[in-house]
Amino acid sequence: MKITIVAFDLWGFNKQLSKKLEDLGHEVSFIDTSKIKYTYKNKWDRVSNFLSKNLLKKNRKKAYIANKTNELINSLEKQDYCLIINPSFFKPELLNILRKKTDKFIAYNYDSLDRIPLPDNFEALFDKIFSFDLKDTEENSFLEHLTNFIYLEPNINQTPEYKSFIIISKSQSREILLNKIANYFDHINIKNYLFIVYKPATKNLNKNIKVIRHHIPLNQVNELMLNSEILIDLLRPNQTGLSFRIFEAMAMHKKIITNNKMIKKYDFYNPNNIFVIDENFTEISEDFLNKPYEKIPDFIYNKYTLNNWIDTVFNKQTLGN
């Protein structure tokens, strides 16, 4: 079958989906707009675009990316399925072209509707709309709930170097809470944690929080997670969906500290493995920090695998095993 995936795949999660579909024998076109780069010809070109953005409200870089994306989509043959991740990232005319190019047009919202609303004509555009945000799906009948997926093979490290690990990108609210966790770990004399923030929004972070200016590839992040005992998952405001960190933790048998209160509604929730905090937390249970991970039953674990995700989105009867 011919399947197209369109996404801004900065961290590489959707690439895992594309690879899996190819392994299953399908012809996959993966259009990753994060890989479309505009290169300035010279310093004047950079200055010219700066002036154009601020005076004329025209961004040459964004226009270039949009044009390249349109070219890729226009070159597609008729598709059996098209999956677009966060459709509001893309212009209406591009979505309309995709609609005409495919038999089944499916959207997956990997964000809350408060942060990333759907296109105005979503009902006419899409055959199905999935969302990872449980609150949104409970409040909107046009959305079908679908979490992210376990894309990793099971892998366990019995002697991790770090007590805890997190990597996040710029987000003031998350950085403030992460700072509190770092301060708490310092207070109880846990020193071997690795907290990384990409281009932070907050000044005066804990001195033990590492600041970076360049993205770390997903495979390197996975190595750091595997080498840690507890993963930390912090949500952006107005989000209740489960991040990929939860599913990476499942594959690696890692415990989780999270501020996602909705996680208690899921069948894999186990207070031995998952500790829920909020911005007012004062301590993290000593039992939680020291007890070993408890394995999730296979019948629950298998519900969240990439294979099951594919069966749900693309129709198991059509795709086959």
Q: Where residue 183 sits, what CATH number does that domain have?
A: 3.40.50.2000
Looking at the structure of the chain, the number of domains it has is 2
Residue 156 within any structural domain of the chain: no
| 43 shares its domain with 85 | yes
- Rounded to whole angstroms, how far apart are CA atoms 20 and 28? 10
Same domain, 290 and 192: yes
Sign of the Cα torsion 120, 169, 33, 311 reads negative
Does 186 lie in the same domain as 80? no
* Helix runs in the chain, H state only: 13-23, 43-51, 60-74, 92-101, 122-125, 134-139, 172-187, 218-226, 244-252, 286-290, 298-301, 306-314, 316-319
Q: Are 275 and 312 contained in the same domain?
A: no
pLDDT score, position 207: 95
Measured distance CA(62)–CA(8) in Å, rounded: 13
What is the C-alpha separation between 152 and 254, in angstroms, rounded?
Answer: 13
Determine the 3-state secondary structure of 259 from DSSP. Answer: coil
Q: What six digits make up the tokens of 22? A: 């190819």
Q: How far apart are CA 59 and CA 52, in angstroms?
A: 6
- Each of the 321 residues of the chain gets a pLDDT tens digit; together they read 999 999 999 888 999 999 999 999 999 999 999 998 877 777 777 767 666 677 767 777 788 888 899 999 999 999 999 999 999 999 999 999 999 999 999 999 998 999 889 999 999 999 999 999 999 999 999 999 999 999 999 999 989 999 999 999 988 999 999 999 999 999 999 999 999 999 999 888 999 999 999 989 999 999 999 999 999 999 988 889 999 999 999 999 999 999 999 999 999 999 999 999 998 999 999 999 999 999 999 999 999 999 999 999 997 544 444
Domain annotation covers residue 155: no
Q: State the Cα–Cα distance between residues 206 and 185, nearest whole angstrom.
A: 11
Looking at the structure, tell me whether residues 309 and 181 fall in a common domain: no
In-domain check, residue 31: yes
| Crossing angle of helices 244-252 and 218-226, rounded to 10° | 50
Predicted confidence at residue 321, as pLDDT, reads: 42
Is 269 found in the same domain as 213?
Answer: yes
| CB 1, CB 26: distance < 8 Å | yes
Query: What CA–CA distance (Å, rounded) separates 82 from 103?
Result: 8
Examine the domain organization and report whether 72 and 168 are in the same domain: no
Residue 130 lies in a domain: yes
pLDDT at 316: 58
Cα angle vertex 162, ends 158, 164, to 5°? Answer: 105
Could you tell me which of 7, 53, 48 has the C-alpha nearest to residue 30?
A: 7
Vertex 95 angle, CA 50 and 118, to 5°? 85
Q: CA-CA distance, 279 to 173, in Å (whole number)?
A: 9
SS3 breakdown of the chain: % helix, strand, coil, rounded to 5?
40, 20, 40
Q: What is the DSSP string of 171-233?
A: -HHHHHHHHHHHHHHHHTT---EEEEEES-S-SS--TTEEEESSPPPHHHHHHHHHTEEEEEE
- The model's pTM is 0.89
20 and 42 in a single domain? The answer is yes
Q: Does one domain contain both 224 and 129?
A: no
What's the domain range around 192?
Answer: 162-302
User: Is 70 within 8 Å of 36 (Cβ atoms)?
Assistant: no
In a domain, 157, yes or no: no
Same domain, 224 and 248: yes
In this structure, the answer to whether residues 97 and 190 fall within a common structural domain is: no
Nearest residue to 81 (alpha-carbon basis) of 66, 101, 65: 101
Listed residue (110, 108, 82) closest to 96, CA to CA: 82
**Is 43 part of a structural domain of the chain?**
yes
